[in-house]
Structure formats: structure tokens, C-alpha cells
Amino acid sequence: MGAIGGIVSIAFIVWFYLTAEKKKAPAIQWAIAGFISYIVPFLVWVKLIGSKKMPFSASLGILFGAACAFLVLTFVLKRLKQPE
């Protein structure tokens, strides 16, 4: 499941970067924020739930991390006002 998690993290980096460029926000910083907003919840999920030998725990961790990153993108980046 590590390869899929890595691909998803790269996808969030690119998505945050491109969205930040459209908003004329600092794209590199937002790409890093996209990575962090995905990987931290993913790792927390895997460490807390994955240790219980729950079926599909890594897949659920990917979904949990993706949901957290999506929420950060929606409620923070997309609400930035563009510079005038």
C-alpha cells in the first residue's frame, strides 16, 4: 500500500500547487502544505488503527488522509482572495 500512498501524496502536491498558482498564492508553500495535510493524517491512521490488524486499514488511511487534505484545500486555499 506504500506505493499507492506515495502516488496519492504526489497528486495532492500537484493539486495544491496548481490551485495556488491560479489563486496567485505562493505555490511551493501550498504544495508543501498539501503534502503535510495528507501525510500526517495518513501516518496517524496507520500507526493507531493499522496496529490493530484491521482489514483494509491502509486503504482507509489513504482515504482519511485524502479527506483531510481535501478539507484543507476547500476551507483554506480556495477561500483566499486573489491579490488586486
Residue 38 inside a domain? The answer is: yes
- Structural domains in the chain (count): 1
Which stretches does DSSP call E strand in the chain?
none
- pLDDT at position 51: 64
Residue 32 inside a domain? The answer is: yes
- Which domain does 52 fall in, by range? 2-79
Query: pLDDT digit string (tens) for 3-60?
Result: 887 888 899 899 999 988 988 888 899 999 999 999 999 888 888 877 666 667 778 8
Q: Given pLDDT bands bounded at 50, 70 and 90, which one contains residue 1? A: low
Look up residue 27 and give its three cell numbers. 505555490
Residue 84 inside a domain? The answer is: no
Burial 38-71 (b: 16+ CB within 10 A, else e): bbebbeebbeeeeeeeeeebbebbbebbbebbee
Residue 37 inside a domain? The answer is: yes
Asked if residues 72 and 33 have their Cβ atoms less than 8 Å apart, the reply is yes
Residue 59 inside a domain? The answer is: yes
Asked if residues 10 and 66 have their Cβ atoms less than 8 Å apart, the reply is no
